Amino acid sequence: MTTPHPATEPFGVRLRRAMDTRGPLCVGIDPHASLLTDWGLTDDIAGLERFTRTVVEALAERVAVLKPQSAFFERFGSRGVAVLERAVAEARGAGALVLMDAKRGDIGSTMAAYAATYLDPASPLFSDAVTVSPYLGFGSLRPALDLAREHGSGVFVLALTSNPEGAEVQHAVRPGGATVAATVLDHLRAENAGAAGEGTLGSFGAVVGATLGELSSYDLSIGGPLLAPGIGAQGATPADLPGVFGAAVRDVLPSVSRGVLRHGPGPAGLVSAAERFAEEVRAVAG
């Protein structure tokens, strides 16, 4: 197993380079029970290991970002987390950036512990970036933001998610007239200020669903990347991206999971699907 290593450049710099050279695509590693069944695998540790190893071996040398969904590994307990640890190390060793989809959010020492789990190079789950939730207040994320900055990692903060339930929080209007989502975007813009030169990205990104339709009422130019779930099985296509993200489309990192994974279990099918999505995104993002 390859030992995870700390970054030598800021995450945003490494992400821009990976998107430019490997294609602007993030592929999720989501070993949920139905997908394991579709692959002819058992819903147990053996199936989890086979599925995860296949995805990493097929794609880690080709795609810009791999995004394991932590919950699908945690459901198997410590043995599942061990599979996740190996996947993170092997994917990073093969050149992919790893975005841990954990969506952690808490306060104080608990948030600091979450940050250390994913953003401290001494941790076996050290990743290039992690997803977090700001709904205990953006300031509650400070331990993760500071540790990411220290170690050249990235943080993606939930802002405008694709699930319908998210609107009741994200579109709520704060005193002064700004929505909660707009406030999150403003905070991220401030975190990235001065970090991104022309043609590069800051290391602090937002999660903005590709299925949301036109978002011109929001300023999505935050100086950092925009992780866009919803491509593929959730109904959005690469052709939808310019209409959703406007002038910020070049900073979009579309995330596809089932749209690629359903083409397994053969590695060739996974590679072909990922390459097709990346080329379609490249064509519309310029």
* Residues 172 and 135 sit within 8 Å (Cβ to Cβ): no
Give catalytic status of residue 103 as yes or no: yes
Q: Report the alpha-carbon angle 228-230-232, nearest 5.
A: 120
Taking the C-alpha atoms of residue 162 and residue 227, their distance in angstroms, rounded to an integer, is 11
Return the SS3 of 27: strand
Taking the C-alpha atoms of residue 17 and residue 132, their distance in angstroms, rounded to an integer, is 23
Q: Which residues, in sequence order, are CB contacts of 69 under 8 Å at separation 6+?
A: 28, 29, 30, 101, 257
Return the SS3 of 68: strand
* Residues 257 and 48 sit within 8 Å (Cβ to Cβ): no
Catalytic residue among 17, 53, 86, 103: 103
Taking the C-alpha atoms of residue 64 and residue 26, their distance in angstroms, rounded to an integer, is 6
* Residues 203 and 148 sit within 8 Å (Cβ to Cβ): yes
* Positions marked catalytic: 103
